[in-house]
Amino acid sequence: MQPFTTLTGIAAPLPIMNVDTDMIIPKDYLKTIQRTGLGKGLFAEMRYHDDGSENPDFVLNKPAYRKAEILVAGDNFGTGSSREHAPWSLLDFGIRCVISTSFADIFYNNCFKNGILPIVVSKADLDKLMDDAERGSNARISIDLPAQEIRGPDGGVVKFDIDPFKKHCLLNGLDDIGLTLEKSAAIATYEAKAAEARPWA
């Protein structure tokens, strides 16, 4: 998993409340267990017309936001089913950070396991960041995970809280497998002792 330390990039505004995982990645895209290639399905029902052509009014289709790496979203983001394809599709598109006032618990935890930083801020701070994002590609937002700060284009700073263990995992690029491999020496020692004590097993 790619570590997350700092990120400076374009932030796309998505002022929609209760965005569920079916809106993030519709069920038609759940036939694969590959993490790559899902970016094309991100917000597909809003990004594309029925004939497959792009909806020019959707934020990620606008020239200023086609390479957005940060999403500033409305309340209660990621609700609905627990599909892990939702963070996969965000990451494959290029989104490394989602900012909202609240997240659904499963989606929130899935983000950390896939190298995405979900940040919870107050309603007042979200309004400021949404305003920054609506300025387009000329207004870039910086995320500093070690300092736990969001810096706006005008120099304003928003502090955010994060669980220390989740922060450690993101900073070091550790998913569940990576955490297990950190203990590979201890596991190998245990397996050797177990084999010696129970050679018939």
Residues 6+ apart with CB under 8 A from 197: none
Residue 174: pLDDT band (50, 70, 90) is: confident
Residue 187: pLDDT band (50, 70, 90) is: low
Residue 63: pLDDT band (50, 70, 90) is: very high
Q: How many domains does the chain have?
A: 1
Instruction: Name residue 103's beta-bridge partners.
Output: 77
Range of the domain at 111: 6-172
Q: Using one digit for the tens of pLDDT, what is the confidence trace for 97-112?
A: 999 999 999 999 999 9
186 in any annotated domain? no
Give the CATH number of the domain where residue 77 resides. 3.20.19.10
Nearest to residue 145, comparing CAs of 123, 118, 122? 118
Residue 1: pLDDT band (50, 70, 90) is: confident
| Distance, CA of 170 to CA of 115 (rounded, Å) | 6
> 100 in helix, strand or coil?
strand
pTM of the entire structure?
0.87
| Distance, CA of 76 to CA of 67 (rounded, Å) | 24
Strand order in the sheet with 97-100: 117-120, 97-100, 70-73, 6-14, 140-144, 149-151, 157-159
72 in any annotated domain? yes
Q: Using one digit for the tens of pLDDT, what is the confidence trace for 65-95?
A: 999 999 999 999 999 887 889 999 999 999 9
Return the DSSP state at 61: G
